[in-house]
């Protein structure tokens, strides 16, 4: 699947939204990727998971287990787990800290692939990396459907494998042109729902 084909798929399912959004990082943005609108269709989720898995195999990355951040990463993480034939677990945010719950555990030196739907700033991904590393497991890579980091300034120190690099603008609240125009803001992130 080429990037243009993937972009067409996002458009078809209206997963690429434009407007005025408050991201879970607190930044404001003129674009938002609502992955759930595609992933609600298992056949499409499988298609995307196969592309991610293909890249993982292409880079000869050995994976023992998938870890996905809830809620956005769970569906695609599970699908990638099925394609790669490994188990798939998820982290949750408890009192603002990322944790493995539900008696999920990782063994020392187990090779972890983190699977996200979208990497926005990399900050949440970094929190997951820190927590998983503290268990003694090894992060071999981070994979996502979309990477919408603006300048890749946050060095995550692991390979980042994404299907689509998305160009949208993020603004701090006090420099947001949509706020200046009193445009109504939407909070589409899932952090408050957990």
Q: Which residues bind Zn ion (CB under 5 A)?
A: 28, 176, 178-179
> Least CB distance from residue 175 to Zn ion, whole Å?
9
Task: Tell me if 119 sits within 8 A of 146, measured CB to CB.
Answer: yes
> Least CB distance from residue 172 to Zn ion, whole Å?
9
Cα distance between residue 136 and residue 192, in whole Å? 29
Cα torsion through 52, 30, 152, 2, rounded to 10: 30
Kindly calculate the radius of gyration of the chain based on its CA atoms and give it in whole angstroms: 16
> Least CB distance from residue 118 to Zn ion, whole Å?
19
Residue number with CB closer to Zn ion (44 or 183): 183
Look-up: residue for tokens 């063994």? 107
> Least CB distance from residue 69 to Zn ion, whole Å?
25
Residue number with CB closer to Zn ion (83 or 178): 178
Q: Which residue is nearest to Zn ion (CB)?
A: 176
Tell me whether strands 28-33 and 170-171 are parallel, antiparallel or unpaired.
Answer: antiparallel
Look-up: residue for tokens 């994976």? 63
Cα distance between residue 10 and residue 148, in whole Å? 14
> Least CB distance from residue 29 to Zn ion, whole Å?
8
Residue number with CB closer to Zn ion (156 or 168): 168
Residue number with CB closer to Zn ion (19 or 159): 19
Residue number with CB closer to Zn ion (134 or 182): 182
Cα distance between residue 132 and residue 120, in whole Å? 19
């Amino acid at each position: 699947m080429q990037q243009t084909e993937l972009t067409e798929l996002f458009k078809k399912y209206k997963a690429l939204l434009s407007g005025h959004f408050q991201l879970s990082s607190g930044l404001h943005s003129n674009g938002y990727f609502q992955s759930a609108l595609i992933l609600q269709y298992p056949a499409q989720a499988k298609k995307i998971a196969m592309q991610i898995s293909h890249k993982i195999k292409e880079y000869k990355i050995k994976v023992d287990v998938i870890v996905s951040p809830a809620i956005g990463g769970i569906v695609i993480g599970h699908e990638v787990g099925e394609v790669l034939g490994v188990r798939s677990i998820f982290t949750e945010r408890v009192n603002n800290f990322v944790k493995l719950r539900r008696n999920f555990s990782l063994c020392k030196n187990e090779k972890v692939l983190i699977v996200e739907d979208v990497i926005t700033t990399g900050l949440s991904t970094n929190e997951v990396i820190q927590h998983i590393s503290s268990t003694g497991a090894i992060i071999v890579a981070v994979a996502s459907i979309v990477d919408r980091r603006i300048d890749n300034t946050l060095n995550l120190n692991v390979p980042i494998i994404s299907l689509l690099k998305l160009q949208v603008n993020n603004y701090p609240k006090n420099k947001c042109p949509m706020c200046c125009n009193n445009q109504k803001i939407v909070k589409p992130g899932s952090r408050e729902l957990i």
